[in-house]
Structure 1
Amino acid sequence: MATIELEIDDKKHGAFKVYEDGSEIGEMVIGVKDPVLTVYHTEVNKSAEGKGYAKQLLDTMVAYTRENGLEVKPLCPYVHAQFKKHPDVYNDIWLKQ
């Protein structure tokens, strides 16, 4: 069973990381400068691709964003593509510029 943890430093830079059997298999790199959470990059190991881990990272980031009253600046191509594909799901947190 995969688990996702937010690992963030004092400067609010870090990542949501996904682990399977104790090994890191993917991450979504972020930075937070209230009220904006910027997503820079999402990556899943080749061996774990196609198993929905990127979507799990996205869902976890979205839940965190909503719980903390933030907006998302999606610089990551994957996140930006998902926001464009499903605007009805993400419009409430999507910081468009």
Structure 2
Amino acid sequence: MQVKHHTTGEDGIFYIDEDGKRLGDMRYMIVNNNQMDIYHTEVEVDAEGKGLGKQLIDAGVIYAREKHYKIIPSCTFAKSVFTNNQDYKDVLA
């Protein structure tokens, strides 16, 4: 499944759709011109357990690295992913 990305000003969303249905999304906002606050990650109940949340976080990390942003993982899911993945230390604020 492909992760898609949409931005509007300082806000953005990474999301996964399948057959016209939103399976999950991760929302963020840019703060202080160089920090990406991941404030919400959600996966539909029937799509849980497939690693979609991690795919969304991975896409956000790749984007942050490209833009030279530091990430603030303020949502509970993002915090747990960052706590358990040392490969993301370079992008943590």
Name the TM-score, length of structure 2 as normaliser: 0.91
SS of aligned partner of 2:22? strand
Runs of 4+ off more than 3 Å: none
Identity of aligned residues (%): 33
CA deviation after TM superposition for structure 1 residue 32, in Å: 1.2
CA distance in 1, matches of 2:68, 2:11: 18
Is residue 2:19 matched to residue 1:21? yes
Partner of 2:57: 58
Give the length in aligned residue pairs.
Answer: 92
Query: How well do the aligned residues superpose, as a CA RMSD in angstroms?
Result: 1.1
CA deviation after TM superposition for structure 1 residue 14, in Å: 2.6
CA distance in 1, matches of 2:72, 2:88: 11
| 2:88 equivalent among 87, 90, 96 | 90
Name the TM-score, length of structure 1 as normaliser: 0.87
Unaligned runs of 5+ in 1: none
CA deviation profile, 1:1-48 (whole Å, cap 9, x unmatched)? x221112212x1131111112321111010013210000010000110
Report matched runs for 1:25-64 at 5 Å.
25-33=23-31, 34-64=33-63
SS of aligned partner of 2:2? strand
Contact 2:6 2:14 in 1 (8 A): yes
